Amino acid sequence: MSHDTLSEFVAATATRFGIPGAAVGVWVESREVYACHGVTSVENPVAVDPDTLFALGSVTKTYTASALMCLVAQGRVDLHAPVRRYVPELALADERAAAEVTVLQLLNHTSGLDWSVIVEPGEGNDALAGYVARLADLKLIAPPGTRVSYSQAGYNLAGRIVEKVTGLTYEQAVASLLTEPLGLSHSLFAPLDVMTRRFAVGHNRGEDGRLSIARPWRPGGRGNNPGSGLASSVRDQLRWARFHLGDGRAEGGERVLPAELLRSMTEPTVALRGSSAGQALGIAWFLRDVDGVRTAGHVGSSDGQFAELLTVPGRDFAVVSFANAGPDGTPFNQAVVRWALAHYLGVVDRDPEPVPYDAGRAAEIAGRYENDAMALVIATDGAGLTLEVGIRPEIRAGLAGEAPPDYPPAATGLLPGDGDEYLITEGGLTGQRGFFTRDATGGVVGVDFGGRLFTRVRTAVR
């Protein structure tokens, strides 16, 4: 498959979705193929190239998990040990959970911690310690080890383990353990470092269809770095993917991780239900069977920036896609990844078909659902279902800067079977899957969206 063909697809798809700037990289048949389109910013346009930095969002979690695996290899961390062995000051809303939660449960999102806590975006060396000190304010959605719920807080706590064990800041430790030995010179945390390189800014589309610059450039502050703080280039991310496809050595031959520990990161640790991300979680990686082929990947989003990294270990294949505009950055990346799988490997990824609308089932699930920071509304007009999701108004009002816009109501359908699973079929969340949770009486009490549990607070939204 030629570079021109990939470039043509990326350009056409970015134009269709209204993406100002995109960068795509593919590792196939032991070679790198790149396609870049557009500009870093609509206000200060600079051409995107393979070394342009984009905010990785949650793809950063693969670095945090890998850093901890390096410490496991050194005998300094035990995945099955309680977190308090390394962070003895840990306090959670439930003392038993604080005493029992393990390192592995942070890394496979079974810690029971809700999504995150809102803290001031500090940039000092104590920012992560300050974030962890606030975890006692965060509700627990389940006892540790009993269910999956995607948690930014869990990964920020994992980053604090890295700090406590190494005696370095989280960022220094990641550099020492990973980015420096792997030669990832375009993978940086500090905005003051990022701004010395060519970097993309996020964009959000308003109700009038116009794009505006997302400000601040990267929300959340340094306390969120382990969960979402890294900026990187598509070239570096292909190198990162190649490391995870390899034997644990850097390209120069230096051993970074033992091969067996590296492989263990893509072995299932917990099953997933009704998730567009996959059928299981390894250590950080989401594991998904696509057309009979096992893949391992992760997606990420920051305000107006979107990233997806997918590897196919059995085929020595990887694809990375970045986009700098919402709400359609996610469907753009999904389209690129699916095209690459089909054209390079002959692997076809399709969404399942929803069942016809059922008024009784719609009435049963319609309602408002919330977690610690966001709200999700499922509504019916008697002919179809819609799902909208966004930041809770009281949370948005308390933020120091601007926040991403909410996702408007989008058509949603229930999937075949009796598993209470659903699929979003339009808009910026197209292809997202989830499921409903019932109590002992059979009543719907929660919904999983994006891997996160939202608890029902109100019914009958029409």
Q: Give the pLDDT of residue 343.
A: 96
Q: Distance between CA 324 and CA 41 in Å, rounded?
A: 8
Distance from the Cα of residue 161 to its chain's centroid:
20
Q: Give the pLDDT of residue 364.
A: 93
Q: Distance between CA 202 and CA 20 in Å, rounded?
A: 9
Q: Give the pLDDT of residue 461.
A: 52
Q: Give the pLDDT of residue 460.
A: 58
CB 146 within 8 A of CB 154: no
Whole-model pTM? 0.93
Q: Give the pLDDT of residue 1.
A: 42
Q: Residue 199 — left, alpha, or beta (φ > 0 → left; ψ -120 to 50 → alpha)?
A: beta
Which residues of the chain fall short of a pLDDT of 50?
1-3, 462
Q: Give the pLDDT of residue 2.
A: 44
Q: Give the pLDDT of residue 121.
A: 64
Q: Give the pLDDT of residue 276.
A: 86
The full 3-state SS of the chain, as one line of letters, equals CCHHHHHHHHHHHHHHHCCCEEEEEEEECCEEEEEEEEECCCCCCCECCCCCEEECHHHHHHHHHHHHHHHHHCCCCCCCCEHHHCCCCCCCCCHHHHHHCEHHHHHCCCCCECCCCCCCCCCCCCHHHHHHHCHHHCCECCCCCCCCCCCHHHHHHHHHHHHHHHCCCHHHHHHHHHHCCCCCCCEECCHHHHCCCCECCCEEECCCCCEEECCCCCCCCHHHHHHHCCEECHHHHHHHHHHHHCCCECCCCCECCCHHHHHHCCCCCEECCCCCCCCEECCCCEEEEECCEEEEEEEEEECCEEEEEEEEHHHCEEEEEEECCECCHHHHHHHHHHHHHHHHHCCCCCCCCCCCCCHHHHHHHCEEEECCCEEEEEEECCCCEEEEEEECHHHHHHCCCCCCCCEEEEEEEECCCCCCEEEECCHHHCCCEEEEEECCCCCEEEEEECCEEEEEEEECCC
Q: Give the pLDDT of residue 219.
A: 82
What digits encode the pLDDT tens for the residues 235-247? 999 999 999 999 9
Catalytic residue positions, numbered: 58
Where does residue 141 rank: exposed (0-12), middle (13-18), buried (19+ CB within 10 A)? buried
